[in-house]
Amino acid sequence: MSSARKTLGSLGKSGAAERRLRRGRLVRSAAAAFGVACAVAAIGAQRRALSDVLLGVGGGSAQRSRSTAPGEWTKNGHLRDSPSSSSSSLSLPSVSISPNDADAEKSKRKRSAPALVAADADERAEGDSDVVEKAKRSGWEFFDGDLNEYYNKLHRDEKGKRNPKNVQTFAVHRWLGPKYSTVLHYEMLHDAIKTHLNAKGSVGGRDKHKMRVMDAGCGLGAGLSWFEKTEPSWELVGYTVSEDQRNFVRDELPPHKFEVELRTYDEPRDTYDAIYSIEAFIHTSDAEKTLGAWAAALNPGGLIAIIDDLAAEGVGRNEEEVQLFAKSWLANSLYTVSELSEMGDRLGLSLVQDRDVGTEYDVIGRNYGNKLPSLKIDGKKTHQGWMGAKLRHKLTVEKKLTYRLLTFRKQGSEGADGASEARKEEARKLGDGTCEAVPSIVDGGKALDVKTVEAQLRTGTGKDGGDAMKCISGWYCCNKGAEWWDDLEKTRTDKTKFLHLPRELFGHYLDVMVKHLNEFYATLPADFAGGKFLDIGGTGSTASGMAQVTSKFAHWSGPLEYWVLDSDPAAKGLPRCVSCDVADCPSAETCGYDVTFSHTVLEHSSRPWKAFDEIARMTKRGGLTMHLVPFSYQYHATPDDHFRFSHAALRSLMEDRGFTVLEVGYDICTQPDDVKRKRKDEHFEVIWLSYVVGKKNRS
């Protein structure tokens, strides 16, 4: 652990001990007194070390990033991880500011915020001011809750680097991807709005192409400029609390139709079909109030889309580094996905999309080079936001922060063309039998002439799957389950009933799936035509460094048209591709696929039960569904890794959604001898995969 981490991690504890000593709460025994004396001596050393870190005279990170320092501009003119320029209703935690009665609007932008986490109020206030004052004495420039000046100073410092005619130079967000793009955020938001409003093209009775959209914390107007060019029929409004930002939009940007108001985003003036916020929601002093205000301003069925840093599940938000990040970055509202989802439920908002942007675009590796930053002041960059950027970098690499896109839909009745009506129609089809069924041979009828599908893996390039593969990957070969079971029975020393798995649960997943596929195809009538085979996750995660494939299981589709479904950004535009998250994919046709299939994909879903809901919706009555997932397998973030599945879990996931389980079991895969000799990393030597084949009930 670096000295910076030790110092920042212990300061709050030692400070709290000193305050408790002053209040006489410690036991007054001789032994305790000796301990207190030692603790007080340690406090001074630790706080001096914090000063060293903030001043840059020692205590730097053990591994300093070799990538461009936070806030530097790349050769392409893109700002790398600078302090957020999105302004909102926010302030420095626990710093009291007296309102300016002569300017009510400015007082709103200067008000103090509640503490990030619950704690003793006296100790919290004392600790907050102590850390901030220490940072000030070390050369960092804090603005004591004056949000207008906070943003104005940032704008003045960086103004010369911004070209009003080039959106990327004033789109001051975390850059993403190999091209250092800061406009990918707008593309993701645009996709979320187009995908999640509803399938029928309107919201609250309004045509989706003539929508009213609000940018909450619009900064210098980059998002508004991009959306106006992309969707010229949309009516766009942005809110900022920075006078300099508002003036830049008004005076320096090319002529535009969108409006920008100098106003807190907590008080929308109008109603909207969609509200989006990029790296600004984290600054609100009251997250539930803000979300509630946005929900109230939404038309029925409208959307809220937020791209921002969130706390990773289980992270202690009273850790000193997290608290220091909150103060310097003005991260007044640092929540987890689950906390915001629950908050949304209370406010009548359903979380319909959770996109892990940081993992998808490999922010830790690509932006930060998998290195921790130095906490020294860089030249003249003394603005508190630059300290926040360094701590954001550090906490992201340590996986205490996660960078995500969350999309909420307003619940309730949305009218004849609303999203809920579309969902009701889907439910009606599933429930009353109008969902299309796969045709089958009538007694005495003739079967479709279908070529037998082979139990073979292929590379995924080319029209029919590409070249044959001997093993499932370069690391493993499968079909070792029966061999393992037989060997165990011969050599076992113990037999524990609750550990026992019957031999019939072990098979080769390829053989099992192909057997059921051929049996399924053999039931199709001779006049069958127009069916579809859906390969879920069928293109590979190029965002995680994998090669794209387009036809890996095309040879399994037999008489059906081969389709793929994938959320990978590179999949967009591929022929016969549904681009979406399988856990929320309204663009995939209800009862539209004769066979649904996935191959080591569903463990990457953060909510696989929702993925299985969607699979059930997509599959025709009488259709076949087949899935291979890991049971014992190393962590593999492509782009993330969430779940493992036993055979019992797969059975219940299928049966609870109207499928009859035809076969379920395990395949065991091992590393070939040459791999064991030549290669070594996190890969397990032996992995277990679980598989399931089900048939959707016809009634």
> How far is residue 686 CA from its own chain's centroid?
30
How far apart (Å, rounded) are the C-alpha atoms in residues 671 and 487? Answer: 17
284-288's contacts with Cβ under 8 Å and 24+ in sequence apart are: 284/88, 284/89, 284/90, 284/332, 284/333, 285/89, 285/90, 285/91, 285/111, 285/112, 285/113, 285/114, 285/332, 285/333, 286/113, 286/114, 286/333, 287/333, 287/335, 287/340, 287/343, 288/343, 288/346, 288/347
Instruction: Transcribe 417-470 into DSSP letters.
Output: TSHHHHHHHHHHHHHHS-S-B---PPTTPPBP--PPPP--EE-S-STT--SEES
Positive or negative torsion for Cα 556, 569, 406, 210 = negative
Could you tell me if 671 and 476 are in contact, meaning their C-beta atoms sit under 8 angstroms apart? yes
If asked whether residues 376 and 481 sit together in one domain, one would say no
Indicate the helix (H) or strand (E) that contains 694: strand 686-696
Within a domain: residue 141? no
Residue 44, judged by CB atoms within 10 A of its CB (0-12, 13-18, 19+), counts as exposed
Distances (CA, A) of 73 to 83, 310, 580: 13, 25, 33
pLDDT higher at 137 or 234: 234
If asked whether residues 418 and 474 sit together in one domain, one would say no
Is the confidence at residue 121, as pLDDT, over 50? Answer: no
- pLDDT tens across 490-546, in order? 999 999 999 999 999 999 999 999 999 999 999 999 999 989 999 999 998 887 788
pLDDT higher at 329 or 75: 329
Confidence category of residue 407, pLDDT binned at 50, 70, 90: very high
pLDDT at 354: 86
The tally of domains found in the chain comes to 3
Q: Which residue has the tokens 């879990």?
A: 649
pLDDT at 196: 83
Q: What is the 3-state secondary structure (H, E, C) of 161-193?
A: HCCCCCHHHHCCCCCECCCCECCHHHHHHHHHH
pLDDT higher at 388 or 432: 388
pLDDT higher at 584 or 64: 584
User: Which of 392, 385, 404, 289 minimizes the C-alpha distance to 87?
Assistant: 385
Could you tell me if 556 and 518 are in contact, meaning their C-beta atoms sit under 8 angstroms apart? no
Q: Range of 46's domain?
A: 3-55
If asked whether residues 286 and 217 sit together in one domain, one would say yes
pLDDT at 694: 96
pLDDT at 628: 98
Is the confidence at residue 677, as pLDDT, over 50? Answer: yes
pLDDT at 160: 63
Where residue 664 sits, what CATH number does that domain have? 3.40.50.150
User: Which of 524, 490, 673, 651 minimizes the C-alpha distance to 595?
Assistant: 524
If asked whether residues 520 and 601 sit together in one domain, one would say yes
Within a domain: residue 82? no
Confidence category of residue 148, pLDDT binned at 50, 70, 90: low
How far apart (Å, rounded) are the C-alpha atoms in residues 127 and 271? Answer: 41
Confidence category of residue 97, pLDDT binned at 50, 70, 90: very low
Give the number of C-alpha atoms closer than 13 A to the C-alpha of residue 138, restricted to the C-beta side.
27
User: pLDDT above 90 covers what percent of the chain?
Assistant: 52
If asked whether residues 408 and 482 sit together in one domain, one would say no
- pLDDT tens across 151-171, in order? 676 666 666 677 888 887 877
Among 391, 422, 453, where does a domain finish? 422
Confidence category of residue 315, pLDDT binned at 50, 70, 90: confident
Return mean pLDDT, the chain: 79
For residue 531, what is the DSSP state? -
How far apart (Å, rounded) are the C-alpha atoms in residues 668 and 509? Answer: 9
Within a domain: residue 206? yes
Could you tell me if 541 and 636 are in contact, meaning their C-beta atoms sit under 8 angstroms apart? no
| Residue 501, φ and ψ in degrees, nearest 5 | -120, 130
Within a domain: residue 316? yes
Is the confidence at residue 67, as pLDDT, over 60? Answer: no
If asked whether residues 485 and 380 sit together in one domain, one would say no
- pLDDT tens across 254-275, in order? 999 999 999 999 999 899 999 9
Among 39, 55, 71, where does a domain finish? 55
Within a domain: residue 397? yes
- pLDDT tens across 288-297, in order? 999 999 999 9
Lowest-confidence pick of 98-102, 311-315, 451-455, 693-697: 98-102
Confidence category of residue 385, pLDDT binned at 50, 70, 90: confident
If asked whether residues 515 and 647 sit together in one domain, one would say yes
Confidence category of residue 430, pLDDT binned at 50, 70, 90: low
Could you tell me if 84 and 107 are in contact, meaning their C-beta atoms sit under 8 angstroms apart? no
pLDDT at 465: 84
Is the confidence at residue 236, as pLDDT, over 90? Answer: yes
Within a domain: residue 186? yes
pLDDT at 573: 84
| Residue 649, φ and ψ in degrees, nearest 5 | -65, -45
Q: Which of 1-10, 58-67, 284-293 has the highest mean pLDDT?
A: 284-293
If asked whether residues 385 and 481 sit together in one domain, one would say no
Within a domain: residue 96? no
pLDDT at 329: 87
Among 365, 395, 422, where does a domain finish? 422
How far apart (Å, rounded) are the C-alpha atoms in residues 515 and 517? Answer: 6
Q: Which of 77-81, 361-365, 425-429 has the highest mean pLDDT?
A: 361-365
Mean pLDDT of 478-490: 96
Indicate the helix (H) or strand (E) that contains 306: strand 298-311
The identity of residue 431, as a single letter, is G
Q: Is 566 helix (H, G, I), strand (E, B) or coil?
A: strand
pLDDT at 463: 74
Within a domain: residue 71? no
pLDDT at 30: 37
If asked whether residues 416 and 475 sit together in one domain, one would say no
Is the confidence at residue 75, as pLDDT, over 80? Answer: no
pLDDT at 417: 39
pLDDT higher at 35 or 452: 452
If asked whether residues 41 and 155 sit together in one domain, one would say no
If asked whether residues 296 and 185 sit together in one domain, one would say yes
If asked whether residues 157 and 44 sit together in one domain, one would say no
Q: Which residue has the tokens 């999105």?
A: 86
